[in-house]
Amino acid sequence: MIDARIRKNLDLPLLLTALFIGVLGIVAIYSATFGSPARYYQKQAVWFVVGLAFLVGGLKLDYHKMASYARPLYVINLLVLVAVLVVAPEVKGSQRWISIGAFQFQPSESAKIIVICCLAAFLVDRVERIKEPGVLLSSLAYLGIPMLLIFKQPDLGTSLVLIAVWFGMVFIAGARVLHLAAILLAGVVMFWSMWHFNVLKPYQKDRLAAFVDPRMDPRGAGYQVNQSRIAIGSGKVWGKGLKRGSQGQGDFIPENHTDFIFTVVGEEGGFAASAAVVLLYGLLILRGSRAMAHAPDLLGRLIAAGILSMFAYHLIVNIGMVTGIMPVTGVPLPLFSYGGSSMMLNMACIGLLLGIGMRRHSIVF
């Protein structure tokens, strides 16, 4: 049971927008995988329902208690990420999933929210000195350990998500823009070094090269982006209709129910549906920003900033890569792409945002 004051402060537009996006995602997955014996849309519907429990759990969770356990949570998170590298089977060149019976769990997804909460607690304890370069770099090192373990899987997309989260949180904490610009420049130099000394995997290099010129390897690294652009362009204004997309239904687009789900929206719903989905995400970010602004303390504000940075990065990179204006990094569309671990994480994050917004007044559960 939830106190009446909570119901009064519940951000219904945020809640309904998140749920509507999730339902639209199930419809898009149904269309993308129509005829598949795997019945992905049914699994996604089950995960959506399970995700509702995570949403309620995030809403009722007192984030102050979670922050008080930041150190053990941080250590447990590292141990789980190490376990992935030891026991997880290799699938398509990556080690990302741990199997528990019939259930598969992707620890890098849960790592995002754990890192956000732990980093928020770390910054709150040092906020008065956040303008000092040493404190700023120590927060980056704090984030860097789980990020490197995730990169080792390899999962470049999630590693970059954590960097975006860090930038958003330290900015809200009050870091100097000049220091952040210097770190960003150092990151560019580091990326060049990773490319030059072959730290990046060959397929990661191929994806970046295909981003520069998708026609360079139209049947290889550039195939997915080329087919995605064809699909979205062919949708024109109003689209071809549900289950009528020639590219999606013809299996020309790999992973069109996961990372490239937005191609289904563009081809079958056209510009109108694509714009509507983007506007829904814009409303989600706007209402989440309202929760951040109304947070009762710095800890809540930083956690909200981390969640919003994560959502914004996923949104920009995912839609950017399927339209060919961003490199392909394997980042799913929040609440929309197929995936149980991702759905449960995102629903829990929506719950946390709702809970932070509602705690702007004294609340008792």
pTM of the full structure: 0.92
Q: Which residue has the higher pLDDT, 223 or 46?
A: 46
pLDDT tens-place string over residues 47-62: 999 999 999 999 988 8
pLDDT tens-place string over residues 91-149: 777 788 887 766 778 889 999 999 999 999 999 999 999 999 999 999 999 999 999 99
What pLDDT was estimated at residue 217? 60
Q: Lowest-confidence range among 260-274, 288-302, 315-329?
A: 315-329
What pLDDT was estimated at residue 215? 64
Mean pLDDT, rounded, for 332-350: 95
| Number of other residues whose CB lies within 10 A of the CB of residue 46 | 12
Contacts of 134 (CB under 8 A, 6+ apart): none
**Looking at the predicted structure, is the pLDDT value of residue 1 above 70?**
no
Nearest to 265 by CA among 90, 67, 81, 21: 21
Pairwise CA distance, residues 315 & 311, whole Å: 6
DSSP 8-state code for residue 144: H
**Looking at the predicted structure, is the pLDDT value of residue 24 above 90?**
yes
With beta carbons less than 8 A apart as the criterion, state whether 292 and 356 touch. yes
